[in-house]
Amino acid sequence: MNQTYSFPENFLWGGAIAANQAEGAYNQGGKGLSTQDVAPKGVMGPITDEPTADNMKLIGIDLYHRYQEDVKLFAEMGFKVFRTSIAWSRIFPKGDELEPNEEGLQFYDNLFDECLKYGIEPLVTLSHYETPLHLAKEYDGWVNRKMIAFYERYATTVFNRYKNKVKYWLTFNEINSILEFPFMSGGIYTPKDKLSKQDLYQAIHHELVASASAVKLCHEIIPDAQIGCMILSMPTYPLTPNPDDVIKVMEYEHSNYFFGDMHVRGRYPGYMKRYFRENGIEIHMEEGDQETLLNTVDFVSFSYYMSTCQTADPAKQIAGEGNLMGGVPNPYLAASEWGWQIDPQGLRYVLNMFYDRYQKPLFIVENGLGAVDELTTGADGEKTVEDDYRIQYLNDHLVQVGEALEDGVDIMGYTSWGCIDVVSASSAQLKKRYGFIYVDRHDDGSGTLERYRKKSFHWYKEIIASNGKSL
Ligand code: BG6
């Protein structure tokens, strides 16, 4: 017998995107360049001096001009929440100006109003892999302490502007990904192979202080808002029961838990102090930093796509293909076309791990399957995609969310990634699609930008309407 799951009445069902992967209009409305505008091959590729025509994000899916049509489709699915980011360089084009760009502010007023018109709550990420390029080039991004003040000015500006419209905020997207992608995640212009651990962890300190400061500002400016951190979660299993593998996993998990621990507990954990000691790292703390860090988050949000394994055996250390944060493949799991290993139970596991550790409400703000879709004509004569594989993936994961709810985990909501097809972050392709809505645009730049409902569109609508009972 199929189990029926009890999702809370106020469960926030919806979808997620990021400004840089969807909006396009990279040089319109007074926007300055961001790190994404010079990264035509995605987070792992080389960067260019200037924006180049092969960069799919410059046009994205043109959400900047089509947001009304898109939000209407989200409303048709019954979204309660829509996660997007504000492109920092639309508000402060260079990042270090004193006054914001009114046209950029107005765009987000329009976007949030459009959501609220349908009763959709905006969930807004302040910084999603789109640091103003000037801050990267001129200051080396978060390595420089001045970034804290720039970020505070930006956060204060948008909190004040949208205080009556936005009640859910996230400070930094996948903040722990700076360990792998210092440029995209931390705006650090120094190439990764030249970046010292000292500078990397000092940059992280600056980001953590800025994040805690944003929490404080948000609570002061919008007392009825909730603000969370956002972690790239990747539950990690030992490849074998060898205790060496288990300890390796513990240490690897610490490197990521560090970010959640700081946001929830506000103090450097003992295991990090040991890591700093053993690696000759000395974090420069200014007066007041510790006090600021104690402004802890209201909830913990995270992305979940895959799990991974770790082994202490050097002979088995083959990086899993396409596996963003390292690790070795799990022999029990199949993988997506991009090599991301599919593990629905890992979502239940990570929900339990986070909840046991933090006892804070959790929000799954990214989850989904990147796949190649084929546009066909349905029985009703409408163009569609028969994406049963996506329905299967999402259904399997949501069942595990249901299981975690049964376990007693407090979960605020679920926003599937790329609810409308967007440009991929890792590979900068549009071919890697996640959406319930197909966008007719292709990696060679062709396409009409028309939107079409996939089969999963109707499936998700039903899931939301039944509050998860139809899983
Ligand atoms: C997360 C990012 O890492 O994964 C998103 O927050 C990204 O920006 C998503 O798009 C999926 O990754 P990709 O590389 O398939 O787009």
Give the mean model confidence (pLDDT) for residues 167-188.
97
Q: How far is the CA of 58 from the centre of ligand 1 (A)?
A: 17
pTM score, two decimals?
0.97
Q: Is 242 helix (H, G, I), strand (E, B) or coil?
A: coil
pLDDT of amino acid 43? 85
Distance in angstroms (rounded) separating the CA atoms of residues 396 and 88: 35
Q: How far is the CA of 90 from the centre of ligand 1 (A)?
A: 21
Give the mean model confidence (pLDDT) for residues 86-115.
98
pLDDT of amino acid 280? 98
Q: Is 174 a catalytic residue?
A: yes
Give the mean model confidence (pLDDT) for residues 421-428.
96
Give the mean model confidence (pLDDT) for residues 384-412.
98
For ligand 1, atom 2: residue with the closest CA: 425
416's tokens: 């599937």
Residue 138's pLDDT band, with cuts at 50, 70 and 90, is: very high
Atom of ligand 1 nearest to the CA of 338: 15
pLDDT of amino acid 322? 40
Q: How far is the CA of 23 from the centre of ligand 1 (A)?
A: 15
Give the mean model confidence (pLDDT) for residues 261-270.
98
| Candidate list 174, 251, 321, 382, residue with the active-site label | 174
pLDDT digits (tens, 9 = 90+) for 27-77: 999 999 999 999 999 988 899 999 999 999 999 999 999 999 999 999 999
Greater confidence, 150 or 325? Answer: 150
Task: Judge residue 79's burial from the number of C-beta atoms within 10 Å of its C-beta, 0-12 exposed, 13-18 middle, 19 or more buried.
Answer: buried
Identify whether the C-beta of residue 132 lies closer than 8 Å to the C-beta of residue 34.
yes
Give the mean model confidence (pLDDT) for residues 271-279.
98
Q: How far is the CA of 427 from the centre of ligand 1 (A)?
A: 9
Q: Can you list the positions of beta strands (E) in 215-291? A: 226-233, 236-238
Question: Hey, how many other C-beta atoms are within 10 angstroms of the C-beta on 156?
Answer: 16
Checking if the pLDDT of 171 tops 60, the result is yes
What is the widest separation between alpha-carbon atoms in the chain? Answer: 67
Residue 1's pLDDT band, with cuts at 50, 70 and 90, is: very low
Tell me which residue of 82, 84, 95 sits closest to 155, measured CA to CA. 95
What is the chain's alpha carbon radius of gyration, rounded to the nearest angstrom? Answer: 21
The amino acid that residue 467 corresponds to is N
pLDDT of amino acid 319? 54
For ligand 1, atom 10: residue with the closest CA: 425
Q: Is 359 helix (H, G, I), strand (E, B) or coil?
A: coil
pLDDT digits (tens, 9 = 90+) for 286-345: 999 999 999 999 999 999 999 999 999 988 876 544 455 678 999 999 999 999 999 999
Checking if the pLDDT of 3 tops 90, the result is no
Q: Is 366 a catalytic residue?
A: yes
The full length of the chain comes to: 471
Give the mean model confidence (pLDDT) for residues 388-394.
98
Average pLDDT, the chain: 96
Query: In the structure, which protein residues have their CB atom closer than 6 angstroms to any atom of ligand 1?
Result: 18, 21, 129, 173-174, 232, 303, 366, 370, 417, 424-427, 432
pLDDT of amino acid 316? 82
Percent of the chain with pLDDT over 70: 98
Residue 2's pLDDT band, with cuts at 50, 70 and 90, is: low
Atom of ligand 1 nearest to the CA of 434: 15
Give the mean model confidence (pLDDT) for residues 438-460.
98
* Residues 246, 250, 255, 257, Cα dihedral to 10°: 140
Identify whether the C-beta of residue 81 lies closer than 8 Å to the C-beta of residue 121.
yes
